[in-house]
Amino acid sequence: MKAIRGVLLTCDSAVKQILLTINEREGNSFIIEDLDDHHLVIKADEEYRVRKELEAELEKNTYSLEG
């Protein structure tokens, strides 16, 4: 039995795929365990950075009238 410290992320599957991609791009830098479609465990001290990365990624997919 072992216990691993981390942060449980609950998200929709689209966001999860983006997170997986970012993780892969960075050479598995932050994901500890891929639990299921909606849950991931990541390293606790990476959370803030991951959120920033995700936001930047999501921002690429939005378009506004005033470009």
Partner 1 sequence: MPGASRDGTIDGAEEDPPHTLLPFLQSQSQNTLTRLYQRPSACLSMFRLLPPLDRQLVMNLLWLESAVPAGTMGAWVTRQGRKLYDEALLNLSRLHILPNPSVKLSLNGMFKTSLRQAVTGGGNNGSFGTAALKDDKHPPVSIEVLDTYAVERWETILHYMVSSGTGQLPTKPSPGVLFLLQRSGLMSTVHGSALQITSAGFQFLLHSPHDQLWQLLLQYLHMAEEREMDLVEILSFLFMLSTMELGKEYSIESLSVTQKAMLEDLRDYGLIWQRRTQSRRFSPTRLATTLTSLLPPLPTATSSGAGSQDQGFIVLETNYRLYAYTDNPLQTAVLNLFVSLKYRFPNLVVGSITRESVRKALANGITADQIISYLSTHAHPQMRKNKPLIPVTVQDQVRLWELERNRLKSEEGYLYTAFASQADYEYVLNYAKQLNVVLWENPAKRCFFGNLEGHGNIRGFIERRTGGQA
Binding site for partner 1 (CB under 8 A): 1-12, 15, 32-33, 35-36, 39, 41, 44, 47, 51, 54, 58, 62, 64-66
Beta carbon of residue 45, minimum distance to partner 1 (angstroms, whole number): 10
Question: Do residues 9 and 39 lie in contact, with contact meaning Cβ atoms separated by under 8 Å?
Answer: yes
What contacts 31, CB < 8 A, 6 or more positions away?
19, 20, 23, 40, 41, 42
Closer of 25 and 39 to partner 1 (Cβ): 39
DSSP annotation of 64: -
Q: Least distance in Å: CB of 57 to partner 1?
A: 11
